[in-house]
A and B are shown apart, each in its own frame.
Chain A
Amino acid sequence: MVEIDHGCKCPGNPLLPQICKVIKITEETPDVKTFRIQTLDGKKPFTPLPGQLAMISVLNVGEAMFSLTAQGDDWIESSIKRVGFLTEALHNLFEGDLVGVRGPYGNHFPTEELKGRDILFVGGGIGLAPVRSFIRHAIAHRKDYGELDVLYGSRSYGDLVFKEDIFDHWPKACNTHITIDIEEDGWDGHVGFVPSYLEEKAFSPEGKAVVLCGPPIMITFCLISLAKMGFSKENVITTLEMRMKCGVGKCGRCNIGSKYVCLDGPVFTMAELEDLPDEQ
C-alpha cells in the first residue's frame, strides 16, 4: 500500500510564465528531443520534485504541460515527443531560444513513502520520461531504497529514449531490462513487448512497488501481467500528466470524476484510479 501526497502548490500567479532560455537540446529519437532550460540569469527556474511538471510555452505559439525528467543545480530538463502543433514548434527551437516556463505543477512520486522498499520502474516509449526523474532521484539516494529494477521497452532501438542512461549510467546502480518490440539488425538484447517481458522476468511482488508509465494499451496489458504476478493495485503507481491542461485545476479538462489531475495528481496508485469513473 503506497500513500500518495495529493497536495499541489505553485507559488505566485500560477498562470504567469517566466521567460527562460533553452541551453541544450538533445535529440533522443527521431521524434523525441530533450530540452535543458535555465532562467535568463543562469539559474534553475524552480526545484521540482520527482514526477512534477512544468508548463512550457513557445511564447508566440502556445503552451502545454510536460513532465520534468531531470534537474541540475541550475537547470531543469524535459523530454518532449513531437505529437502536435505546439510540440512541433518546440522541436523547431534552437539552443539559445526563449521559452516560457511555469510550475512546478502536480504532486510527485512518493519518494519518502517508498524509502526502504524495492522499486520496479516500468516504462514504454516516451513513458520513461516522467519516470526518469524518480529513477534519477532513487539512484542519487541509492541507500534509501532497496532493489531497483528498470524495465523499459520501445518499438525499435531507434525509439529508445535516454540511451546513455539506460545503457551506461543506470546499469551501475540498478538492474536494467531493455526490450524492443520487433527484432532488428544489430540488436542483441531482448525482443518482445513490455508486458510479456515483465512476466518473463517474474519479479516477486514481495515488498516491491511498481512505477508504471507508457501508452494506454501497454498500461492495460502490464496491469494484467502485474496482477498475474501477484502485485496489488495499491502498489502500482502511475501518472496521468497527459490529462493536464491549465495546470491549476480550473480550466475544466483534467477531471476524472471529482478528482482533478491538476489538483490531486498526476501521480496516483492504480487502486485510486480504479475508484474513479472510467473516463480516461
Chain B
Amino acid sequence: MSKIGVFVCHCGTNIANTVDVERAVASARELPGVAFASEYKYMCSEPGQQMIKDAIEEYGLDRVVIASCSPRMHETTFRKMLKDTKVNPYMLEIANIREQCSWVHTDKAKATEKAIRLIRMSVAKAARDEPLFASSIPIEKRALVIGGGIAGIQAALDIADAGHEVALLEREPSIGGKMAMLDKTFPTLDCSACISTPKMVDAGAHPNIKLLTSCEVVKTEGYIGNFQVTIRRNARYVNHDICTGCGLCETKCPVKTDSEFNHGLSKRPAIYKLFPQAVPSKPVIDKNSCLKLTKGKCGVCEKVCPLGCIDYADEDREFTETFGAIVFATGYELIDWTALYGEYGGGRYPDMLTGLQFERLVNASGPTEGHIVRPSDGKEPKTVAIVKCVGSRDPKKGKSYCSRACCMYAAKHAHQILDKLPGTRVFIFYIDVRTPGKGYEEFYDQTRKDGAIYVRGRISKIYKDGDKLVCNGEDTLLGKQVKVMADMVVLETAMTPSSGIEELATMFGVARDVNDWIQEAHPKLRPVETQVGGVFLAGTCQGPRDIPDTVAHASAAAAKVVSLLNKSEMETSPMISVVRREHCCGCGACEKICPYTAITLEEIDDRVGAKRVKRPIASVNSGLCQGCGACTAACRTGAIDLLGFRNAQILEEVDALCL
C-alpha cells in the first residue's frame, strides 16, 4: 500500500469551530494506506509547511492529503512546497473541508462526519496518485502574423519593438489591407493613408520584421512555442532582390484589367503594384492577365526592365519556418450583396457602390482623384441614398450580427458628399444609429446638422427608372412609404470573415463561431487568445470592429505574444490525457471531441499473430492537450485516461464516499 500523510488544518477557527479536527485526524489514521495523520492551526503557514516536510522525512511518506481550504486557494502553494521534498508535487490531494464543509454547515457532529468522508475520498484518490512531471517546451522566439492589414502591422510592430522576430504574412502583393483603401477615418477625418502608410513603411523597414507578401499558409504542425508552418510564396515573376521599383514596366505593359484595389472602378496593367504606396514598393505580374504567361506572347516588361528583374519562369515556392506564436490578423471582407439582394438589382446598376468602392471613389488617390461622380456617366450626383445594414442584422438574408463600423462610416460618407458637393441631398436609411465611441455621437450629430437626412427603415427595392435609381422603402417613424429618386446609392454592407479563414482555422485547430469569425478563448477574459495555446487574435478576424478597436486589439495580442516569447521555455501541465495503446482501437471518437486538436490518429506497428501490421491509435500531443478530459468520457474502452483525474481515481473517490 501507499504511505499517505494526512494533514488536517484548523484554519484558525474557520474549520476547527465546526469540524472536530481531532476526530477527523483519528479517523484518517484508520484509512487504508495512511501512515501518518496530524493537525495544525494553519497548514499553509511556514511552520505548517515545515511540519508536513518533517513528517514526510520522518515517516517516509510517499503522498500527501491536506484537509484544508479549497484547492483553488492553496493547491499551488502545497505543490510548490512538495518540490523541496521526496514527494512528487502531484502526489497531493486536497480535501476541501472549509469552503465545502465548515463554512456551509453548522451542526458540528454532522460537519465532522462530512469532513471525515471528504478526507476519506481524498485519501482514496491519493492512493492512486502517480508521480507526474511537468515538462517544459522550448519556445522559438519568433512570431508569425497572418494578415498585413492594420491589425497585423500593429501587432508585428509591437512584437518587433519588444525585440522579437516577426514574419508578417500577407497574401496580397502589398501589406496595408483595407485601411489603405480608405480615404478619411471617422470621427477625426484624418487621412487614412497619412496615418497608415507610415506604419506600413515602418513595418517594411523594421529590422525584426520580415515581410512575406504574396504568401499563404499551406500547412502547420506543432504547438505553442514550436509551430512548424509551411508557407507558399506565390510566384511574382519579378525578382524583388534586384528590382528597385522604378515602375517603368508598369507604364509599358499593354494589358488593362480591373484593379482589385479600386474594386473595379479603374484598370491596372498586368505587371503592377497594388497601389502607389505599396510596401514592398515593387511590382508583381498577375499571371491571369499577363499576355506572356497566358498566351506566350508580349514580353514587353522583360524588354524594358533595365535590371533584368523579370522572370517568367518563377514558380510558387514552399518553405517551412518555425514560430513560437501565431497571430491571426486575417481581417474581413464585405459580404457579396449582389448574390443576396436581387431586389436591389443584384449588382446590375453601376451607380450602386459598396462602402469600400465609395472610399476609393472619394479618395484623392482613387480612380477619380477624389471627385464624387457616377461611375456610369461621370456626372456628379444630386441625390445620394446611403443604405445601412445591407447584410447585417438581417438573419433572413445576410448575417444576424451588427457590423459595428457602418453607422459611423455611413455618417462619414454623408459628410464627405455634403462637404465635396454642397447642396447634394443625402438620405441615410437605417435601422438604428449606433455610436458608441469617443467623439462618435458628436460626429453623427454634426453630419445631421450638415444636412444628411436620416430615414429609419429598410429599403425594400431599388430599381432603375431612366437614369435614376428608385429606392422604395418605409419610414418606420412616420409609418409611411418613402421613395427616393437617387443618382447614386451607397450600400454599407456587412463585414464577413476573409475568404480562406475556414482552411486556416482548421489548420491551426482554432474554433470558429457560427458566423465563421474566429472564436476567442473567452468572450470576456481572454478576448485575444484562442483556445489553442500560442495562437492569438488581432482585429476583425474575431468579429467586426473599427480601426481604433482593431489597433487596440492588435496591441493586446502583441502583448500576449511578447509575454510568451519572453520566456525561453514554458512549463506544461502534466495533467494531460494518455493513451493505452494496447487497448486503443483507433475509432477516433476522442479525436473528434478534442477542442484543441491535441488528439490525432497515428499509425503504429503492431503484431497480429505472426503478421506485422500497421494500425491507427489515438495519440495525444502533450503541447496541445489542456487536460479537460472530454476525450476520456468519449472512449468506450477506457483506453484514454486523464493523468491526475484517472477513471480509477474518480471511481475510488466514489467508492470511498459510499463506504
- The residues of A with any CB-CB pair to B shorter than 8 Å are 60, 92-94, 97
Contact = CB atoms under 8 A, between A and B. Distances in A.
A93 B33 CA distance: 9
Nearest to A58: B1
Contacts of A93: 1
Interface string B23-34: 000000000100
Nearest to A89: B1
Nearest to A93: B1
B3 interface: yes
Interface string B1-19: 1110000000000000000
Contacts of B32: 60
Contacts of B1: 92-94, 97
Nearest to B60: A94
Nearest to A97: B1
A94 to B, nearest CB: 6
Interface residues of B, number: 6
B384 to A, nearest CB: 80
A158 B120 CA distance: 39
* List of 8 A-B pairs having minimum Cβ-Cβ separation, nearest first: A97-B1, A94-B3, A92-B2, A93-B1, A92-B1, A94-B1, A60-B32, A94-B35
B61 to A, nearest CB: 11
A94 B60 CA distance: 10
9 contacts: A60-B32, A92-B1, A92-B2, A93-B1, A94-B1, A94-B3, A94-B35, A94-B60, A97-B1
B643 to A, nearest CB: 16
Contacts of A94: 1, 3, 35, 60
Interface in B126-155: none
A91 B1 CA distance: 9
A136 B208 CA distance: 74
The interface residues of chain B, by DSSP majority, are classed as loop
Interface in B593-632: none
A92 B2 CA distance: 6
Given A92-B1, A94-B60, 4 more contacts: A60-B32, A92-B2, A93-B1, A94-B35
Contacts of A92: 1-2
A47 to B, nearest CB: 28
B236 to A, nearest CB: 57
A93 B35 CA distance: 12
A222 B3 CA distance: 43
A249 to B, nearest CB: 29
Nearest to A98: B1
A129 to B, nearest CB: 23
Contacts of A97: 1
A142 to B, nearest CB: 40
B255 to A, nearest CB: 71
**Residue from B1, B2, B60 whose CB has the most chain A CB atoms within 10 Å:** B1
A185 to B, nearest CB: 26
A60 B3 CA distance: 16
Nearest to B127: A92
A94 B32 CA distance: 13
Contacts of A60: 32
A279 to B, nearest CB: 14
A259 to B, nearest CB: 25
A120 B109 CA distance: 69
A75 B471 CA distance: 103
Nearest to A61: B1
Interface in B465-514: none
Contacts of B60: 94
A93 B32 CA distance: 12
B568 to A, nearest CB: 33
Nearest to B3: A94
Contacts of B2: 92
B59 to A, nearest CB: 11
A93 B2 CA distance: 7
A97 B35 CA distance: 11
A92 B130 CA distance: 11
A94 B33 CA distance: 10
A162 B3 CA distance: 27
A272 B32 CA distance: 47
A199 B295 CA distance: 79
Nearest to A94: B3
Interface in B150-197: none
A60 B656 CA distance: 13
B442 to A, nearest CB: 73
Interface in B253-268: none
Interface string B53-70: 000000010000000000
A92 B60 CA distance: 13
Contacts of B35: 94
Contacts of B3: 94
Interface in B46-97: 60
A48 to B, nearest CB: 26
A60 B127 CA distance: 13
Nearest to B1: A97
A92 B1 CA distance: 5
A97 B32 CA distance: 10
A60 B35 CA distance: 17
B30 to A, nearest CB: 14
A60 B659 CA distance: 14
A60 B128 CA distance: 13
Interface string B270-289: 00000000000000000000
B654 to A, nearest CB: 16
B638 to A, nearest CB: 13
A94 B34 CA distance: 12
B33 to A, nearest CB: 9
A276 B1 CA distance: 41
B25 to A, nearest CB: 21
A94 B61 CA distance: 11
A27 to B, nearest CB: 14
A60 B1 CA distance: 10
B625 to A, nearest CB: 24
Nearest to B32: A60
A88 B1 CA distance: 10
Nearest to B35: A94
A211 to B, nearest CB: 30
A126 to B, nearest CB: 21
B250 to A, nearest CB: 70
B658 to A, nearest CB: 15
A23 to B, nearest CB: 15
A50 to B, nearest CB: 31
B607 to A, nearest CB: 14
A94 B3 CA distance: 8
B659 to A, nearest CB: 12
A93 B1 CA distance: 4
A97 B3 CA distance: 10
A58 to B, nearest CB: 8
A94 B36 CA distance: 14
B259 to A, nearest CB: 71
A92 B63 CA distance: 12
Interface string B80-118: 000000000000000000000000000000000000000
A248 B256 CA distance: 95
B160 to A, nearest CB: 50
